[in-house]
Amino acid sequence: MIKSLSILSRRKHLSHEEFLYLWEHEHAPLALKVPHLLRYVLSPVESQFERQDVESHGIEVDGIAELWYESHETMILAAQSEEMKKLRAHGSQIIGRITNCLTREIEIIDTRVV
């Protein structure tokens, strides 16, 4: 399983609330049509805080998106699709800054009841 995390900051002309609305109600529905995308999770940032013992990155983050794929190959196929191109084109209208990371999970605690 491959997970891409995108750390997002809104375009300057949008308020945080405007960004979150457009992200959830206009942008996210476009992801439903992207082939090979297994899971798409939006995590809107409600507040940010700093620790006294660790230096902050100093960026304002509006949200974090998770995109899940079966493999690197299916991620590439998804990226090449017309549906992903539409998703990214819309994203460029509301996202001012982005950092993308490919990750793997190392599960330490899972107390969820299934």
Average pLDDT over residues 69-76: 96
Q: Break the chain into its structural domains and give their ranges.
A: 2-9+18-47+61-103
User: Considering only CA atoms, which of 12, 6, 31 is closest in space to residue 94?
Assistant: 12
* Residue 114 reports pLDDT greater than 80: no
Specify the CATH architecture of the domain 2-9+18-47+61-103: 2-Layer Sandwich (3.30)
* Residue 55 reports pLDDT greater than 90: no
The pLDDT confidence band at residue 107, using thresholds 50, 70 and 90, is: confident
The pLDDT confidence band at residue 83, using thresholds 50, 70 and 90, is: very high
Which pLDDT belongs to residue 10?
Answer: 97
Average pLDDT over residues 93-109: 93
